[in-house]
Amino acid sequence: ILEIGQRRTVELQILPLDSEEHPYLGGAFTLLTPPGRREVAYTELYGYPRLITDPEEVRQHSERYGILRSQALTKRESLTWIEKLLGER
């Protein structure tokens, strides 16, 4: 993870375990913006995949993503955290 996170094209951010509850406890989700198309969201809960195309639902996921990113460590802080965890610093 550290090696990949150090790549210039990768934006790795860690949400610390001691952070307050975050706005998306419902599981993982992915936001996708295909070329020339609207943003969509993808979730997979309990083995049931769902592609979300409704603009309002996608907007809600996008807002949650923004909140998660604001609560997470920066890229540099995240890499430093991983290095400390590995005992490299």
Give me the residue spans of the domains in the chain.
2-7+27-86
Percentages helix, strand, coil for the chain (3-state, rounded to 5) are 35, 15, 45
Q: What is the pLDDT of residue 47?
A: 84
Q: What is the pLDDT of residue 23?
A: 60
- Please choose, from the candidates 30, 26, 22, 12, the residue with its C-alpha nearest in 3D space to the C-alpha of residue 71: 22
**Residue 89 pLDDT grade (very low, low, confident, very high; cuts 50, 70, 90):** low
pLDDT digits (tens, 9 = 90+) for 10-35: 999 998 877 666 666 667 889 999 89
Tell me the β-bridge partners of 11: none
Tokens of 8: 């210039």
pLDDT digits (tens, 9 = 90+) for 23-81: 666 678 899 998 999 999 999 888 899 999 999 999 999 998 998 888 899 999 999 99
φ and ψ at residue 13, rounded to 5 degrees: -130, 135
Q: How far is CA 62 from the centre of its chain?
A: 10
